[in-house]
Amino acid sequence: MGAVERETEEGVMATDFFWSYTDEPHASRRRQILSQYPQIRELFGPDPWAFLKITLVVLLQLWTATSLHNSSWLRILIVAYFFGSFLNHNLFLAIHELSHNLAFSTPVLNRWLGIFANLPIGVPMSVTFQKYHLEHHRFQGVDGIDMDIPSHTEAHVVTNILSKSIWVIFQLFFYAFRPLFLNPKPPGMWEFTNFVIQFGLDALMVYFWGWKALGYMILSTFVGGGMHPMAGHFISEHYIFNPDQETYSYYGPLNLMTWSVGYHNEHHDFPRIPGSKLYKVKEIAPEYYEDFMSYKSWSQVIYMYIMDRTVGPFSRMKRQLSKSGSTTKKNE
C-alpha cells in the first residue's frame, strides 16, 4: 500500500489520505480463516439475548429521562454525561448490531427492534444508519462510497490540537451530516416510519414530562458521542496509527457495554457473528490477530488522536472502485 509522505520528525500532518493498492483485507482473510477453521461458521447467527438487553436499556433510559423532568439543567448534564451517555451509546451500538440482522433471523424484525432501540437516542437514525453502514463493510475505504471516512473539507480544516478537539466533541454531527452532502440517498417508507415513531415519542415526552426529559435524552446522545471514553471507538476502528494496518481492535473492559464492537478486525472479518461471540474468533484463530496493533483504552486513543500532530482526518485508508466492482488503488 502507498501513502502520502509524512515528516513525522517535524510533526507534519499529511495532506492527503492513505491510498491502498489492494482490495480491503477482510474478505480474503475471512476465506483463509474459514478454510483453516470451518467451525467458526457455528458462531454465525443472531444473539438470542439481544431483544432482552435492548429492552432493558431502553426502559431504563426512558425512566431516567422522566425522573429528571424537574431537575436543574446542571444535574441533567451531569447525569447525562456519567450515566445516560453510556446507555445511549450502548443503544447506538445495538443499532449497529441490528444493522447486521443479529437479533432475529428475519430482517424486518431487526429493523423494528432498531426503531425501538432508537427511541431514547432522541433523533431518528436507525434505518438510515443501516444503509450507509452496510456500504462501509462492502466498500471499505472506497472513495465516494464509504461515508465513515471524513470529507476533504474536514481534513483540511481539522489540522491542530484545538480543531481536532472540537471535531471530537462534535463528531456525531459530522457522521450524521457527511452522507447527506457527499452521498445522499432518497428516504423510503422505513425512514418515514422511523421519523414518525421517533418524533412521536419525543412529542409525548415533552407533553407529559416537559423539555428537560427530552433534553436529557439528546444530551446523553451528544456527550456520549463526543469527548467520551465510549466514543473512542469511532477513532480506534480505522484511523491509521500504523501505516501497514487499516482496521484496529480494542480489547478493553468497555466491550462489555458496547456489544464488543472493539473486536473490530474480527467484526469486519465476520460481520455475521454477533458481538457476544466475537471473542471466540480470536480464541479459535489467534495467529490471525495477535500481531496486529490493538488498543486497551479508548480514552487513550482520543488523546493520541488529538495530541499527535501527524494524525488527523486524513489518517484513513482510501481506495478506488474498479469497473468490475472491486477496490483498487488510486489511479490504478
Does 329 fall in a domain? Answer: no
Does 330 fall in a domain? Answer: no
Does 331 fall in a domain? Answer: no
Q: Which three cell numbers stand for residue 292?
A: 496486529
Does 326 fall in a domain? Answer: no
pLDDT of residue 4 exceeding 50, the answer is: no
| Enclosing domain of residue 310 | 18-320
| Mean pLDDT (whole number) for 253-265 | 98
Residue corresponding to grid cell 482520543? 302
Helices (H), the chain: 26-36, 50-67, 73-79, 85-99, 107-118, 126-138, 152-157, 161-169, 171-182, 189-209, 211-224, 232-236, 264-269, 278-284, 298-307
For residue 153, the tally of other CB atoms under 10 A from its CB is 13
Residue type, 195: F
Please state the domain count of the chain. Answer: 1
Does 11 fall in a domain? Answer: no
> Residue 324: its pLDDT value, please?
53
Q: 82: which DSSP letter?
A: I
Closest CA to 127 of 190, 196, 199, 200: 190
Does 99 fall in a domain? Answer: yes
* Position 326 confidence tier, pLDDT thresholds 50, 70, 90: low
Mean residue pLDDT of the chain comes to 93
> Residue 8: its pLDDT value, please?
41
Q: Which of 96-105, 239-248, 281-290 has the lowest mean pLDDT?
A: 239-248
Does 2 fall in a domain? Answer: no
pLDDT digits (tens, 9 = 90+) for 65-115: 999 999 999 999 999 999 999 999 999 999 999 999 999 999 999 999 999
How big is the chain by its Cα radius of gyration, in Å? 20
Does 327 fall in a domain? Answer: no
| Mean pLDDT (whole number) for 246-263 | 98
pLDDT of residue 304 exceeding 80, the answer is: yes
